[in-house]
Amino acid sequence: MKWLRTLILFEKGNVINSADWATVHDSYVRSIVSVNHPLGSGALTLRRKMRLPNGQWQRNGVGFLRSQFLRNMQEVEKWKAEGGVDLGRDRVQPPIKLYPSLEDYREPITSDFGGFDFITTGAGGCRVAIEWETGNISSSHRSMNKLAIALAHGILQIGVLILPSRLLYEHLTDRIGNIGELSGYLAMWEGLKATVNTGLLAITVVEHDHLTDDPALPYLTMGNDGRASEGRAKI
């Protein structure tokens, strides 16, 4: 798999020049480029999407890519995966106005955010969370919002979302999060910098190495969770 680029949406407290950031970035990039198919080939070669006689599309599933990345981080790069991050239902909400009374009001938090794909701590003490985004596009937005909130509350110092390029997206389960669909929202997340004392929020974009029409290469297994089955019917 190819690492294309890493976008720094915001950075405060000189985290960008820290040894922890340099180390974790180098490490997860190595884990990205180690994702391969067929296994042992040293590259990620995917079957090109194909229109089936029934009008549906054959595409590649995504779970295989995520599992290889996480395994590389732990077994090859030797990062210790830590427990989940509790963003806390009891954190103080900012006051908002009710209309038409214009009274101050704080809406209680009644839902959990769920965990991150990978959490660890660097040698310098930076708490790091990485989201490998192979869920649908709404999941990408949720991941970015979770990372930003955790950074704002000092729970994390480094937050990273890894997601497909637009070209890779074309050959994966339909509506998978990708940089093309998030590009219009980057300014919004950059604007959250003011809420953070110390922290770095990044997006890393990845892509396949090769495409092939060779019928001898199997498609990556596709599940029926999320919008995977729906995606097979999309043009």
**Which of 17-21, 78-82, 166-170, 191-195 has the largest mean confidence?**
17-21
pLDDT tens digits along 40-91: 999 999 999 999 999 888 999 999 999 999 999 999 999 999 977 777 666 7
Task: Identify the band that residue 145 occupies on the pLDDT scale cut at 50, 70 and 90.
Answer: very high
pLDDT reported for residue 231 = 41
Phi, psi of 112 (to 5 degrees): -95, 160
Q: How many residues does the chain have?
A: 235
Continuous H helices in the chain: 19-33, 63-71, 137-152, 166-169, 179-182, 186-190, 228-231
User: Catalytic residue among 133, 170, 181, 230, which?
Assistant: 133
Give CA–CA dist 89/136, Å, rounded.
Answer: 25
pLDDT reported for residue 233 = 41
Q: Is 107 an annotated catalytic residue?
A: no
Domains in the chain and their CATH numbers?
Answer: 2-82+117-224 (3.40.91.20)
Q: What is the mean pLDDT of residues 182-205?
A: 96
